[in-house]
């Protein structure tokens, strides 16, 4: 019984580690209220790209927001 529980725990841990790994891209929704434009943009795996989103799409905008989620 104890061996079966240990095996089950090892399998669960392995699945959890696999689920945490891998490349997870970012999806950013941006909006420029001052000129009524908006869109979405995907960024590759890495740190939160919110500041890059602002640089890419908000440089000419007076009222800009960008929200990024990893998935």
Instruction: Read off the pLDDT of residues 7-30 as tens digits, 9 standing for 90 and up.
Output: 544 444 343 434 455 789 999 999
pLDDT of residue 27: 98
The closest alpha carbon to 25, from 51, 48, 54, belongs to 48
- 50 C-beta neighbours (distance < 10 Å), count: 16
Number of H helices, E strands in the chain: 2, 3
Does residue 68 carry a pLDDT above 70? Answer: yes
**DSSP-assigned letter for residue 51:** H
Residue 67 included in any domain: yes
- Host domain of residue 33: 24-71
**Can you give the pTM of this predicted structure?**
0.65
Residue 28 included in any domain: yes
pLDDT of residue 1: 57
Residue with the larger pLDDT of the pair 31 and 19: 31
Please report which confidence band the pLDDT of residue 4 belongs to, taking 50, 70 and 90 as the band edges. Answer: very low
Residue 66 included in any domain: yes
In whole angstroms, what is the distance from residue 6 CA to residue 40 CA? Answer: 45
Number of domains in the chain: 1
Residue 15 included in any domain: no
């Amino acid at each position: 019984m104890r061996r079966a529980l240990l095996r089950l725990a090892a399998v669960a841990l392995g699945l959890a580690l696999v689920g945490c790994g891998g490349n997870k891209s970012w999806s950013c929704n941006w909006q420029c209220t001052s000129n009524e434009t908006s869109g979405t943009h995907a960024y590759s795996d890495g740190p939160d790209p919110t500041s890059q989103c602002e640089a890419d799409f908000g440089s000419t905008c007076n009222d800009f927001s960008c929200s990024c989620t990893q998935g």
